[in-house]
Chain A
């Protein structure tokens, strides 16, 4: 196993194609086919221009054979059958065309997820424009089984409701979940042709405020707009052009809006929450969490309930680096994404943890948990600690938590 298996594969593949006499991939070697494709693209674009948009192949993740397929008991889980629904909220794109919409779903690990995209005939999907889907001009539905990603999922609250606010910058106008272009400045080393053109990008602010929200005010280009949340979940969706000078790209999600143009949310009963435009302290006076939100009960086992021997085994590898495999028998089960076992590893002489990993899967009581830290090269004694942590539901390991056990391992 190499450090960057993706690079090893791509290098080998490219060299194979590059070698004298090698067969080129069909899309790189058939000019006639290219001409035909151009003609077909022309047809699709013409169709789109006249207002008729054909359906294309569904959205699908790019080829990532090293990533395991979604599992109902690990990571985000998989979408529960029948839980996915398109919400009644729509937003026009600044350049026109199909409106943007939102879809919610629930997963087998206790999370609720939100996906956004363009909407056609009651379906959420992406357009074959701006480099997506070879610019085929078609509409590509987003399969209901796809969760958009960790940033768009959050734990359901105690009543099964989803409260989430997402700010996503540099989203391609195509609405593609799996970007077919990269935001400039976000990816170093991408070929210029793979970078998004800023005019083809949008900033999206969307979420679910809950049933008590009555109005949202946001400020864009110096003008304040007021919109009404839609449906019992208080859904909203704001779409604006990406402007030069936006100070971050990527997405953030939180219980209340953050990094967002939203300035004010009014709720039933007279509560009004105001949000500073610049990053500042969170809103106070009952606005730290949305009205109506009740946190899901999280397990809080004691040390005595959790305590178990931790085994750490050192193994050599063919790359001359070492690995430490940590195993322990779980005493308190992990039943959803709201809790996890976290393993921290400290290298010899280092005060801070150099590695941290999380179980990220459901575990039965009595089941053996296993986590491997690879590519360790510094000789000496490594110390580690296993804790039980309440998760943010996004699968990220967290520090702190309740002690399960300690371990150490020596690399010669």
Chain B
């Protein structure tokens, strides 16, 4: 585990002078970020844009990565969560990091989109678990049913044998907690 963190740290340190190092970092974590964003956004093209902005932002913030505080993947998924939350707030995918880096808009092939869709389908459960892991059990269950499974408040209330007001409160608290976590990781 320690070796992996050191490796990621070295790749990020070398990225300024050697673009290949960041490409290697990208290859190590691409699947995880795509699966994570794909499951939450539910759209392959959107996932590509969000992934692009996440890695562009990671490159800009590479000096802030501190292996003592956790693995690079967790750091990266924190950025991804933040990109997604900000994009949902604004109604369009954030693009500042890509613009700063001078990146062109991506035109991806149908094969790429298929690959992204497949990855998302394959890894959905693990990603959702990772995303919701930090929540108390009652909030996690409510958020999962409402946001991931798209169930109505009435349906969730019936399944959990509680009132709709309680369900709404749990979902609201859970989402606020996730939002706060994202802000802290910014």
Write the residues of chain A forming the contact surface with B, with a CB cutoff of 8 angstroms. 2-8, 10-20, 28, 62, 64, 66-67, 182, 187-191, 194, 318-321, 347, 354-355, 373-378
Contact = CB atoms under 8 A, between A and B. Distances in A.
Contacts of A375: 31, 115, 118-119, 122
Contacts of A2: 26-27, 30
B109 A18 contact: no
B103 A64 contact: no
B51 A191 contact: no
Interface in B73-131: 92-93, 95, 98-99, 101-109, 112, 114-116, 118-119, 121-123
Given A14-B101, A19-B19, A355-B114, 8 more contacts: A6-B112, A10-B52, A12-B23, A15-B19, A189-B49, A189-B93, A318-B27, A373-B118
B16 A20 contact: yes
Contacts of A182: 105
Contacts of A14: 56, 98, 101-104
Nearest to A178: B107
B167 interface: no
Interface in B27-47: 27, 30-31, 34, 45-46
A67 B112 CA distance: 11
Contacts of A190: 105
Given A10-B103, A12-B20, A18-B102, A378 B49 contact: no
Nearest to B52: A7
Given A11-B55, A189-B52, A191-B95, A3 B107 contact: no
Interface of B: 15-17, 19-20, 22-23, 26-27, 30-31, 34, 45-46, 48-53, 55-56, 59, 92-93, 95, 98-99, 101-109, 112, 114-116, 118-119, 121-123
A4 B31 contact: no
A19 B16 contact: yes
Contacts, number: 134
Contact of B30 (A17, A62, A319): A319
Contacts of A10: 52, 103-104, 106
B71 to A, nearest CB: 15
A76 B38 CA distance: 30
A6 B30 contact: no
Contact of A189 (B17, B53, B109): B53
A2 B25 CA distance: 12
B118 A354 contact: yes
Contacts of B59: 11, 15
Contacts of A189: 46, 49-50, 52-53, 92-93, 95, 105
A191 B99 contact: yes
A377 B122 contact: yes
A12 B19 contact: yes
B92 A188 contact: yes
Given A8-B26, A354-B118, A194 B109 contact: no
8 contacts: A3-B116, A4-B115, A18-B102, A188-B93, A189-B93, A189-B95, A377-B119, A377-B122
A3 B109 CA distance: 11
A374 B118 contact: yes
Nearest to A186: B45
Contacts of B51: 4, 7
Nearest to A373: B118
A370 B54 CA distance: 35
Nearest to A61: B107
A10 B112 CA distance: 14
Nearest to B124: A378
Nearest to B21: A15
A320 B15 CA distance: 23
Among B22, B49, B92, B115, the most chain A Cβ lie within 10 Å of the Cβ of B115
A28 B99 CA distance: 13
Contacts of A11: 19, 22-23, 26, 52, 55-56, 59, 101, 103
